[in-house]
Amino acid sequence: MKFLVEKLSSIDRLSIITFSSDADRLCPLTRMHKDGQAKVEDLINNLRADGQTNITRGLQEALRVLVQRRQRNGRTSAIMLISDGELSSRCDHPSTVDVSGVPVFTFGLGKDHDIQVLQDIASRSDNGTYSIADVEGSDSASLTIAISSCDRTITQLGSDIQDVRVGNYEQTRDNESVTISFGNLYNREKRKTTLFLSLLAVEEQTAIDILKVTLSYRPSGGRTLLIKHSPITVTLDRTSSPVTVDPVEVDNEIARGDTAAGMQMARKQADANDFEGAKKTLDNAEKSLDHLNHEADELIKALKYEVQEFLRLLKDPETYLREGHAFALSSELSHNRQRFAARGDATQLLALAIPLVVLFANQAIEFEKNVEVRQQNNSNNIKNIASNWTVDDVEDD
């Protein structure tokens, strides 16, 4: 148990419940920072055996602790049940306790523990396991080793969410989780969310669950039941010497957010007649894009076009009022909603659009070309007809 306490992090919480003839919660769910660890270790040192083996009451008390906890969202919970005795005949059978909603890891100590009861509890729980430990004269593992096998399973997600970038979509925080509402999405539309996480330092290479993502939605029409997808857990291989190079896609998405924020600041400066300050802000935004070294990337090209076009529209107050202000507002909303909006030369911004919009935009360009050709042909035909007319033809007509 001391090994378990040592391995839990400051964002994990632990409660100790003893059971004999009845059950007793020795402490509430306690954060495992240094003071919490010291408190729990004192409780462990004072544990003594007495009374009967009332596993049922132990389970009931453990479930009560989990049900009454205030912090639930984004947290993984589990029960670790350790027993070295047979179930007392005077006690209710543990099969009467519903453990289907939580993992229960059972540990049978020595040769006299109730094998069938502990195995049954684990199998009825949500992906729990049954371990055998400290059987004298056998090759069974020690309790410390047995507990270490499920330590990572019950450990809280190894991260804290520091910031969430998702434009102006509604987001709400509840303890350690963030919920984002995207509203209505069209077919094949995508939304990118940039999370900045604070990860605990590690002393050796290990795999840690850092994020759990859930999704729910209603199909078009809104009359059907809410569809909920199974949670996706993001696992990261951690090392004591972290790699600090971000993938290109992450770099680009951060750059998009930073560029949009820079353009918004420049727009506010221009609205306050600080045109020199606005130009300086945009110059810095453009230099930040130069440092990415992703010159061939279409998104970076589109962002550079936006900045350069806004700079052009800031050349004087008249141009800004006539075109620049509208251009900036269109850009802000487009980036905040992650939806394409035409502004300036729209063909330069198609990297911000979903494939279907790109397809339609290219078709629109071809349509306009065809319209020009048809208009030119019609004009030439009219000229040809007019040149063949005579005054008498017109008068007779």
Quote the DSSP letter at residue 188: T
The string of pLDDT tens digits covering residues 35-71 is: 999 999 999 999 988 888 899 999 999 999 999 887 7
Residue of 31, 109, 29 lying closest to 69 (CA atoms): 29
The string of pLDDT tens digits covering residues 301-358 is: 899 999 999 999 999 999 999 999 999 999 999 898 888 888 888 888 887 776 767 7
Mean pLDDT of 80-98: 86
Task: Phi first, then psi: give them for residue 235, nearest 5 degrees.
Answer: -110, 135
CATH of 2-154, one of 3.40.50.410, 3.30.930.10, 3.40.630.10, 3.90.1410.10: 3.40.50.410
Region of poorest pLDDT, from 151-160, 219-228, 374-383: 151-160
Please report the pLDDT score of residue 293 as a whole number: 61
Average pLDDT of the chain to the nearest whole number: 84
Mean pLDDT of 234-257: 82
Band of pLDDT at residue 286, cut at 50, 70 and 90 = very high
Q: Hey, is 213 helix, strand or coil?
A: strand
The string of pLDDT tens digits covering residues 149-185 is: 666 555 555 678 889 999 889 999 876 789 999 888 8
Which residues sit opposite 104 in a β-bridge? 79
Please report the pLDDT score of residue 310 as a whole number: 96
The DSSP H or E segment spanning 368 is helix 355-388
Please report the pLDDT score of residue 294 as a whole number: 59
Please report the pLDDT score of residue 388 as a whole number: 58
Locate 295 and state its tokens: 């010159």
Mean pLDDT of 219-234: 78
Query: Residue 12 above 70 pLDDT?
Result: yes
Query: Residue 397 above 50 pLDDT?
Result: no
Please report the pLDDT score of residue 174 as a whole number: 77
Query: Residue 87 above 70 pLDDT?
Result: yes
Q: How far is CA 317 from CA 276, 283, 285, 321, 389, in A?
A: 11, 18, 21, 6, 54
Band of pLDDT at residue 389, cut at 50, 70 and 90 = low
Where do the structural domains in the chain lie, given as residue ranges?
2-154, 159-238, 248-352, 355-396
Please report the pLDDT score of residue 326 as a whole number: 93
Q: What is the pTM of this model?
A: 0.57
Half-sphere exposure of 20 toward its Cβ, with a 13 Å CA cutoff?
Answer: 5
Please report the pLDDT score of residue 381 as a whole number: 66
DSSP string, 96-154: GS--TTS-EEEEEESTTS-HHHHHHHHHHSSS--EEEE--TTS-PBPHHHHHHHHHHHH
Please report the pLDDT score of residue 395 as a whole number: 47
Query: Judging by beta carbons within 10 Å of its beta carbon (0-12, 13-18, 19+), is residue 31 exposed, middle or buried?
Result: middle
Query: Residue 274 above 90 pLDDT?
Result: yes
Q: Are 353 and 361 in contact (CB under 8 A)?
A: yes
Quote the DSSP letter at residue 296: T
Cα–Cα distance measured from residue 211 to residue 158, given in angstroms and rounded to the nearest whole number:
8
Please report the pLDDT score of residue 279 as a whole number: 96
Cα R_g (the chain), whole angstroms: 33
